[in-house]
Structure 1
Amino acid sequence: MLTDPAVLNLIAATAAVGVAGAFVVPTTSLFLSEAVTATPLMVGLFFAVRSVAEIGTDIVVGAVSDRLRNRRTILVLTALFNACGALCYTFLRDYYLLLLSGMVCFGLGGACFGQLFAYTRELADARGVDAPFFNGFLRSVTSLAWVVGPPLAFWTIATWSFTALYASTAALSLLAAALCGWGLPDPKASGAAKALPEKALPEKALPEKAGPEGSAADATPEPAEDRPPGMLGMFRGLGRRTALVLGAVVLLLGANAMYQINLPLYVTEDLGMSPQFAGLLLGVSAFVEIPLMVLAGVWAERVGKQWLMFAATVCATLFFVLLPLADTRPFLLALQPLNAAWAAVALNIPVVMLQDSLPGRIGTASALYSSAFKAGMFLGGLVVGTVATWTGYGQVFWVCAGLTAVAGVLALLLRTAPEVPSPVPASTPTPTP
């Protein structure tokens, strides 16, 4: 895969988006608290309101993207909106102007996250690569970005300022837009499938089965009822299994969002440690995630995706129960492998499960996962703001433990939900008309 220019450009684009996110997400709460002088409740509401805007745009963009010929256009536009949002953070210091610009710019730009998932799946199908493995491989690139991003972000704040940090974020988002626009091929085009292994497709079958839907220009047109339903039917075919996966994802990623929002404030305000140490904790966890995320993709079919999900909830609950008890640097660092173990599964496997449950609607499935991620951010923002205001930052982690325990119950219920037949792999030969 590493000799494929398309894969290399996708890695670079994913890394740029990942580092930009690692600059913004863990520093925003500190930015609002120090540069904007916002209260804990205002910080929580900021994340909650912005997440609502991102959920709506994610779902709409995901549904529309399944009916478009080329997903790269959406990737470029959303990356440009992220750049605009970062520029607003660079120059604005008014709470309400930041909230409005964040809702509009990061609300639209946030769809880039889900669309990268969708493009990754399309490219995996076009290349004949195992989807959980390929998705885990690309997600490990994001984890690597989070190894570098948070420590570098807090170092930039300490050495220069928030202005320098968010200007750098805007530059990374512009780089991602350029890579998506000029470096990524169209997986649905016949040329994209030529890099498949020789055993995957006979040469004469390539034009008819270029992508996961066989969407080459000269192929037989799809019946209207088989086409992606678009916005009006975006929730068609969502069964009990899909609902359980989404519920578990919202709870797990809600806990993850609460952790990322709360950690810098907990470390600096309650424990009296430096912001750089908060960045180090996030970086260590992301570093350990990298091999675990690839292994999760390898084990997904052997162990079972639902069992991996349940194991992740157990690790998450144990981590959040122990976290309020950790008041020293060695103890906090020692907990990070446990944190990485559950995050490696929660940030990788559920999106593949959703894509499998909605064959032919990869953009919608990826947008649902991304929206669940933002719903978790919404939940996290509300809880952090209210709980931290009334009881302190340390008590937030007990709420996280409760959420992940409920997610474990939903993961167990997946055993009773019927499996959805997997779509036909892209590497299945198709007769030439």
Structure 2
Amino acid sequence: MTAEPDPTPGIPPATPGAPPPGGPSATGRGARLSFLREGAVVRLVGVTGAAGVAGAMVSTSASLFLADEVGATPLMIGLFFAGRAVGEIAVDLVVGVLSDRVRDRRRLLALCALLSAAGGFSYSGLRDYYLLLVAGVCCFGVGSTSFAQLFAYSRQLADTRGQGAAFFTGFLRSVTSLSWVVGPPLAFTLIARQGFTAMYLTAAALSLAASALSRWGLPPASRPEPADGTARGEAAASAPAPAASTVPSRNPFAGLDRGTAALLAAVVLLLTANMMYQINLALFVTRDLALGQGFVGVLLGLAAALEIPALVWVGARSERLGKRRLVVAASALATVFFCLLPLASGRAALLLLQIPNALWTAVVLSVPVVILQDRLPSRLGVASSLYSSAFKTGTLLGGLVTGTVATWTGYTQVFWVCAALTGLASVLLAARVGGARAAG
């Protein structure tokens, strides 16, 4: 950690894992609200929001950009996204390893956001398919790792301030969800009025703002001390935590026990099902139920709106309820949701089903990364990158599986496959939790 003074004076740093000053009562709602009002946290929210809106703008408009501006065929568009996803997964793991070796994670955050800005500037002028693919992997691929590094930095900041990591992660995740409510409408409004060039320049400007805030607006956050082989909290319930060396391993998978591997596999399954739902929903509603395109937007908007308070609620109560038990419950709830979805035929039923949908996704989008960070306390960058890579793997598999299943069985049947995937995730997670109790 550098000797640079903390720009939020008057708030003494706490030892990672120690209770905040003021005794147990400081961990209550008042302490959390006070923490969220700190200047450093407000600026971190600004970084998360700016990067999130820029990412949402680029992600949701990319297929239209390739079709209208580049003249890409559907096959070329599919290969473009698959190639970028594979490249981003590899980059995520490499950056995760490197991030645990740098002295100041803020510089890495600034560099990632700066590369996203370079990607926006490149896309504003390039119209060649292959050059866009290279620029996407090199610029947006590295830039997208900023979200994993934000998870790692926020964990360090929460530990330094003596705040609950799950609550803070859930809160920042809700900011990301809000950015996905803002980003797509902004992107398509700019495209309709001024074209793709203006849209990509706007995304680049937001990324530049995130880069500047990351470098000069965030305080230094202390690095965790090397683990002594003992478990941290409830995350170690499944297996003894591996001892960490003072020099982080270059292998991102080093030191992973069976419980952690099972968690990662379950996350991939859950996120694959979630991506299948996102891809298939519009076709299911318009083709099989004939409810109209406008109702698809209502469903997606309602789910996003419900997800924001759900993320905050889950983060605030995950320590009390148990993080692993919450993930098991979320996977079981997801299975119930996907079993009920093919049976729903009216608007009211589909709207009500967005409540369990928001709850299970809120858990899966925030709690597993905290568990991974608990398991690898001296390798927060790797832990966050493993979760981010699992997320992107699920996204990649979701697109491939949805197309195959929908082609052979139809849109409604896709949700039964989703139920099977989330059910398998439930079995994996429940087996690890049950095995840990039996061992204990």
Is the shorter-chain TM-score for this pair beyond 0.5, marking a shared fold?
Answer: yes
Does residue 126 (structure 1) correspond to residue 146 (structure 2)? The answer is no
The 1:168–1:119 alpha-carbon spacing in structure 2 relative to 1, beyond 3 Å, is same
Letter matched to residue 227 of structure 1: T
The 1:367–1:303 alpha-carbon spacing in structure 2 relative to 1, beyond 3 Å, is same
Does residue 226 (structure 1) correspond to residue 245 (structure 2)? The answer is yes
Note the alpha carbon deviations across 1:209-232, whole angstroms, 9 max, x for none.
xx5329xxxxxxxxx97314241x
Q: Contact 2:244–2:378 at 8 Å: present in 1 too? A: no
Q: CA deviation at 1:154?
A: 4.3
* 1:161-176 correspondence to structure 2 within 5 Å: 161-176=195-210
The 1:252–1:29 alpha-carbon spacing in structure 2 relative to 1, beyond 3 Å, is farther
Q: Contact 1:248–1:407 at 8 Å: present in 2 too? A: yes
Aligned partner of 1:366 among 384, 389, 404 = 384
Q: Contact 1:124–1:134 at 8 Å: present in 2 too? A: yes
Q: CA deviation at 1:53?
A: 0.7
Does residue 80 (structure 1) correspond to residue 98 (structure 2)? The answer is no
Q: CA deviation at 1:388?
A: 4.6
Letter matched to residue 388 of structure 2: S
Q: Distance in 1 between matches of 2:50 and 2:433?
A: 38
Note the alpha carbon deviations across 1:294-353, whole angstroms, 9 max, x for none.
121222122222221122112323333444555666554443222211110000000011
In structure 1, the partner of 2:302 is 284
Q: CA deviation at 1:268?
A: 6.9
The 1:334–1:85 alpha-carbon spacing in structure 2 relative to 1, beyond 3 Å, is farther
The 1:324–1:372 alpha-carbon spacing in structure 2 relative to 1, beyond 3 Å, is same
Q: Distance in 2 between matches of 1:102 and 1:286?
A: 27
TM-score by length of structure 1 reads 0.79
- Greater mean deviation of Cα atoms: 346-355 or 85-94: 85-94
Q: Distance in 1 between matches of 2:214 and 2:390?
A: 24
Does residue 46 (structure 1) correspond to residue 80 (structure 2)? The answer is yes
In structure 2, the partner of 1:71 is 105
In structure 1, the partner of 2:424 is 406
Q: Distance in 1 between matches of 2:145 and 2:434?
A: 32
Runs of at least 5 residues in structure 2 that lack an aligned partner in the other structure: 1-34, 227-242
Aligned partner of 1:213 among 199, 219, 225 = 225
Q: Contact 1:316–1:404 at 8 Å: present in 2 too? A: yes
Q: CA deviation at 1:45?
A: 3.1
User: Number of residue pairs matched?
Assistant: 387
The 1:164–1:396 alpha-carbon spacing in structure 2 relative to 1, beyond 3 Å, is farther
Does 1 or 2 have the higher relative contact order (CA < 8 Å, sep 6+)? 1
Q: Distance in 2 between matches of 1:272 and 1:98?
A: 37
Q: CA deviation at 1:241?
A: 0.9
Aligned partner of 1:240 among 255, 258, 264 = 258
* 1:288-303 correspondence to structure 2 within 5 Å: 288-303=306-321
In structure 1, the partner of 2:137 is 103
Q: Distance in 1 between matches of 2:277 and 2:72?
A: 19
Letter matched to residue 86 of structure 1: G
The 1:155–1:312 alpha-carbon spacing in structure 2 relative to 1, beyond 3 Å, is farther
Q: Distance in 1 between matches of 2:337 and 2:126?
A: 37
Q: Distance in 2 between matches of 1:288 and 1:261?
A: 19
The 1:225–1:381 alpha-carbon spacing in structure 2 relative to 1, beyond 3 Å, is closer
Q: Distance in 1 between matches of 2:419 and 2:78?
A: 19
In structure 2, the partner of 1:217 is none
Note the alpha carbon deviations across 1:62-90, whole angstroms, 9 max, x for none.
11111111001111111122223333444
Does residue 338 (structure 1) correspond to residue 356 (structure 2)? The answer is yes
Q: Distance in 1 between matches of 2:56 and 2:390?
A: 19
Does residue 28 (structure 1) correspond to residue 47 (structure 2)? The answer is no
In structure 2, the partner of 1:196 is none
- Greater mean deviation of Cα atoms: 148-157 or 340-349: 148-157
- Greater mean deviation of Cα atoms: 247-256 or 147-156: 147-156
Does residue 377 (structure 1) correspond to residue 390 (structure 2)? The answer is no
Give the secondary-structure state (helix, strand or coil) at the position aligned to 1:184: coil
Q: CA deviation at 1:102?
A: 2.0
Q: Contact 1:78–1:110 at 8 Å: present in 2 too? A: yes
Note the alpha carbon deviations across 1:13-58, whole angstroms, 9 max, x for none.
0111222222233443454455556555544433322111111111
Q: Distance in 1 between matches of 2:122 and 2:277?
A: 25
- Greater mean deviation of Cα atoms: 146-155 or 29-38: 29-38
In structure 2, the partner of 1:3 is 37
Q: CA deviation at 1:183?
A: 0.6
Aligned partner of 2:90 among 49, 56, 62 = 56
Q: CA deviation at 1:409?
A: 1.3
TM-score by length of structure 2 reads 0.78
Runs of at least 5 residues in structure 1 that lack an aligned partner in the other structure: 189-210, 215-223, 420-433
**How much identity, in percent, do the aligned residues show?**
58
